[in-house]
Amino acid sequence: MSVAKKLIRCVILDLDGTLLHTDGIVTNVLKVFLGKYGKEWDGREAQKIIGTTPFEAAAAIVQDYQLPCSTIEFLSEISPLFSDQWCNIRALPGAKRLVKHLKSHGVPMALASNSQRESIEAKISYHDGWKNSFSVIIGGDEVRAAKPSPEIFLEAARRLSVEPSSCLVIEDSLPGVTAGKTAEMEVVAVPSLPKQSHLYTAADEVINSLLDLQLEKWGLPPFEDWVEGTLPLDPWYIGGPVVKGFGRGSKVLGIPTANLSTKGYSDLLAEHAAGVYFGWAGLSSRGVFKMVMSIGWNPYFDNKEKAIEPWLLHDFNEDFYDEELRLVIVGYIRPETNFPSLESLIAQIHEDGRVAERALDLPLYSSFKNGSYLRIS
Ligand code: ADP
Ligand code: RBF
Ligand code: MG
């Protein structure tokens, strides 16, 4: 007889870095603010403050940058700068889809964040339908001890009237994962900074982005929007002259990738999760071609910069460096992963190519082939 699987009945979500791309705003505000003190914001600081309370984050920054002010003064000066930016925080990839899906399937959701209740409410007010999707919202100012204490999650479960063991926590931060496990909940981690997944050993699962969430694993209603191994996305556009890449696409893999300069696209690139995507590629004077691409740090090669690497699914007999390349990205295939051998990486990329090739013939995706953005003259 098989053991009955523990079924999840409710989902408890963290907000900053899990549903919202808050890091971008934090970086921008701190850059400007520390600049006034003659200091330069160092991105490496980010991991330290992720998932902490506003007070803890402020205290860490005041100390590490030796600012000539108290934590309270720092907070009161910087808080209005953050509030001004809340209207600009984008939902992370897959966040809108997740909230909508759980809501439409009647799965109760709670929002449990270390930030203040008032700022949670303000931030989500810019995202249609979110406020009404959460049965419970708790801020760090409503409990005695913030994450990593389990209190905020236990309180969420209590208000949802469910056992902690029936709750699935989705979290990007280490304090949040600790809090969820201490509350004896199931925890899926979605690290918001790259190359950090090895730190999340306490989580029950670590995923790359919310696009990779498999709800059926937790006994929750599965997403039904995958089509033939692909996830349709709101299309997004990127283009520019083809530049020299890492010099190994053709040489090492036998798979040329026409690299685009990421200068000027850092916000766009930061907004999209690392992974394998597909769509259409327009090349000036050559036409429009099917395309499959990776975005990310290529774990097999462990790149230092996030890169975008489109492989056009067509045989060209020559290079086309400096030519204008325009891409419309219409769907997602999988997260980027490491591979035990070069052969297995190559085989997987060819499989991605076949998936994209087939999918792009579906009306759902083929219609984008004729978009004016791709027709360069
Ligand atoms: P790099 O490291 O400079 O990107 P690659 O070995 O990846 O070099 O080769 C990429 C170059 O090959 C592209 O910039 C382009 O000029 C050319 N190329 C030829 N065929 C293709 C193709 N099907 N897809 C992408 N690039 C191609
Ligand atoms: N590199 C990885 O390390 N992991 C991957 O999962 C991965 N997937 C890819 C999928 C596609 C469709 C393409 C075109 C490339 C992928 N690569 C991946 C990137 C590959 O390593 C890169 O193109 C070469 O390093 C050339 O710079
Ligand atoms: Mg390349």
pLDDT at 6 over 70: no
Contacts of 351 (CB under 8 A, 6+ apart): none
Q: Classify strands 231-243 and 259-260 as parallel, antiparallel or unpaired.
A: antiparallel
Q: Give catalytic status of residue 225 as yes or no.
A: no
Least confident of 161-175, 204-218, 257-271: 257-271
Contacts of 282 (CB under 8 A, 6+ apart): 239, 288, 289, 325, 326, 327, 373, 374, 375, 376
Token reading at 148: 């990593």
The mean pLDDT of 17-37, rounded to a whole number, is 91
pLDDT at 2 over 70: no
Q: Check 216, 309, 324, 352 and give the catalytic one.
A: 309
Phi, psi angles (nearest 5°) of residue 310: -85, 130
Contacts of 335 (CB under 8 A, 6+ apart): 207, 208, 209, 211, 212, 273, 274, 275, 276
Rounded to whole angstroms, the Cα distance separating 305 from 260 reads: 13
The mean pLDDT of 59-74, rounded to a whole number, is 93
Between the CA of 260 and the centroid of ligand 1 the distance, in Å, is 11
Under 8 Å between Cβ of 115 and 146: no
Rounded to whole angstroms, the Cα distance separating 182 from 340 reads: 34
Q: What is the mean pLDDT of the chain?
A: 94
* Structure confidence at residue 7 (pLDDT): 87
The mean pLDDT of 303-314, rounded to a whole number, is 94
Token reading at 271: 């907004």
Which amino acid, residue 247?
A: G
Atom of ligand 1 nearest to the CA of 323: 16
* Structure confidence at residue 5 (pLDDT): 55
The mean pLDDT of 44-52, rounded to a whole number, is 84
Rounded to whole angstroms, the Cα distance separating 71 from 69 reads: 7
Which amino acid, residue 16?
A: D
Q: Give catalytic status of residue 172 as yes or no.
A: no
Under 8 Å between Cβ of 307 and 245: yes
Under 8 Å between Cβ of 133 and 102: yes
What residues line ligand 2, using a CB cutoff of 6 Å? Answer: 245-246, 248-249, 253, 255, 257, 276, 292-294, 298-301, 309, 311, 336-337, 345, 349, 352
* Structure confidence at residue 263 (pLDDT): 83
77 φ/ψ sector (left φ>0, alpha ψ -120 to 50, else beta): alpha
The mean pLDDT of 33-52, rounded to a whole number, is 86
Between the CA of 344 and the centroid of ligand 1 the distance, in Å, is 21
The mean pLDDT of 150-161, rounded to a whole number, is 98
pLDDT tens for each residue of 248-277: 888 889 999 999 988 878 888 989 999 999
* Structure confidence at residue 272 (pLDDT): 95
* Structure confidence at residue 11 (pLDDT): 98
The mean pLDDT of 331-347, rounded to a whole number, is 97
Q: Specify the pTM.
A: 0.94
What residues line ligand 1, using a CB cutoff of 6 Å? Answer: 242, 244-251, 256-259, 311-312, 314, 316, 319-321
The mean pLDDT of 140-153, rounded to a whole number, is 97
Q: Give catalytic status of residue 151 as yes or no.
A: no
**Closest by alpha carbon to 196, among 20, 333, 23?**
23
The mean pLDDT of 21-46, rounded to a whole number, is 87
Token reading at 105: 């399937």
